[in-house]
Structure 1
């Protein structure tokens, strides 16, 4: 069966050193996406210059969608980016992720109608952060120094044959490693722009996918990513966001008023 055509979307904010490693790991993929969209939540010129440097000889379209910096507005910039996407399947990674060379291939291999996929991450620890950034390291394995959750470096895609559908949103869901059909995302009106600051945007959106009977599939022993260490973001608004998610879950909400429809 042919792979679905896909757009890789990644949010970024003022960390070009991490974004560079993500783009280098993308160039190393066994299968490339059909296009890449960087959803930029208001970064300064350094990020723009880095993207322009890559655009000069990138093998696929590399698009940069930017809006002004007005605190954390990730749901808004992600909606704008996915509205621009030209392909049916969306793979989402964070801007501080380094992908295993088979990452895109694994997501496309297990993409299935009426499903979304989510994977885990291996953590790169603070102790090797400066070395990883200065030496632009994008290759890691089970025996690499300075990583945590190293069991997640093991890739045995065959074991996905035993994966079961997930009917409820998993606590293991991470927006840094997931994929879904663009038409499903539009059906629920995308990310909720009433969410403010850090957190919950991915899980609240996924809850609405469950509310329209889209099932989850957890990617184990495949779609491996490495998360670059950074200090935790402010969680000032997490209570407001948790309440929005609670209402979405309890009332089985399937559509939000302020979403991707503004940009389509």
Structure 2
């Protein structure tokens, strides 16, 4: 599909302005800009607000800060609030600890097609490299870069990306840190499920409902490259509760939920 799709880049964040700064620098480095960037802030302190205000002064596109009070992990709610505010037809979702390859947005827009969502992979930036990463404010990487693993995922080969076909079942490789979908499809399934608690499952449960409505998934491989900054694992003590919801969504082919984006539209 041509690049004449309008899109909003949406990213959740929580009290990690150092990572968000690299993400925003990588937005400024894009070969094709999104139409706007929305930071979905799950209750960060003033340092994050100050960073965003600093970037807003000379950002090439609108940079919008959507914030709510900190009440433990409420990522589904803040993401719903952010997508509700989004002005454009296509949503590209990345995590707040992601650095994008310069052609990341271009790749998602060129690979987008109706009735489909895209999901990509990530290269991992390792813990011992973080001091150097942040001191250099590094936003460009390649196959031989220091401090990374999964180097094969640094390869951008657009011709090979076309080999991947649409799928009607959920892939275990799906990661919410690198996803895109049509805003209208997201609204049709009522967005993220706010009955999910704590960290995890929100993206895959949402994707399952997209699949249940007949929207296909497509893996973005050899394009849409991102680099994920190491952080310690989130608390997973609640994840079994979320898995029960996801399993029910799959088994019963549930397409919509009660507590979602409808609250903010």
Determine if the TM-score, normalized by the shorter chain, exceeds 0.5.
yes
Q: Which residue of 1 aligns with 2:253?
A: 252
Q: Which residue of 2 aligns with 1:102?
A: 103
Q: Does 1:49 align with 2:72?
A: no
- The 3-state SS of whatever aligns with 1:162 is coil
Q: Which residue of 1 aligns with 2:81?
A: 80
- The 3-state SS of whatever aligns with 2:167 is coil
Alignment of 1:112-123 (within 5 A): 112-123=113-124
Gaps of 5+ in 2: none
Alignment of 1:164-175 (within 5 A): 164-175=165-176
Alpha-carbon distance between aligned partners in 2 of 1:163 and 1:229, rounded to the nearest angstrom: 28
Q: Does 1:134 align with 2:135?
A: yes
Alpha-carbon distance between aligned partners in 2 of 1:2 and 1:62, rounded to the nearest angstrom: 21
- The 3-state SS of whatever aligns with 1:22 is helix
Q: Does 1:179 align with 2:168?
A: no
- The 3-state SS of whatever aligns with 2:139 is coil
Q: Which residue of 2 aligns with 1:234?
A: 235
Alpha-carbon distance between aligned partners in 2 of 1:222 and 1:243, rounded to the nearest angstrom: 33
Paired residue total:
264
Alpha-carbon distance between aligned partners in 1 of 2:136 and 2:250, rounded to the nearest angstrom: 44
Structure 1 stretches of 4+ moved >3 Å: none
1:160 Cα deviation after fit: 2.1
Gaps of 5+ in 1: none
Contact kept in structure 1, 2:23 and 2:98, CA below 8 Å: yes
- The 3-state SS of whatever aligns with 1:249 is helix
Q: Which residue of 2 aligns with 1:200?
A: 201
Q: Which residue of 2 aligns with 1:215?
A: 216
Q: Which residue of 2 aligns with 1:38?
A: 39
The one-character-per-residue Cα deviations of 1:11-38 (angstroms, maximum 9, x if unpaired) are 0000000000000001000000000000
Q: Which residue of 1 aligns with 2:13?
A: 12
Contact kept in structure 1, 2:193 and 2:206, CA below 8 Å: yes
1:3 Cα deviation after fit: 2.6
Alpha-carbon distance between aligned partners in 1 of 2:144 and 2:174, rounded to the nearest angstrom: 26
Alpha-carbon distance between aligned partners in 1 of 2:151 and 2:4, rounded to the nearest angstrom: 29
- The 3-state SS of whatever aligns with 2:242 is helix
The one-character-per-residue Cα deviations of 1:146-166 (angstroms, maximum 9, x if unpaired) are 101000000001112222111
1:2 Cα deviation after fit: 4.0
- The 3-state SS of whatever aligns with 1:31 is coil
Alpha-carbon distance between aligned partners in 2 of 1:191 and 1:49, rounded to the nearest angstrom: 28
The one-character-per-residue Cα deviations of 1:205-225 (angstroms, maximum 9, x if unpaired) are 000000000001101100000
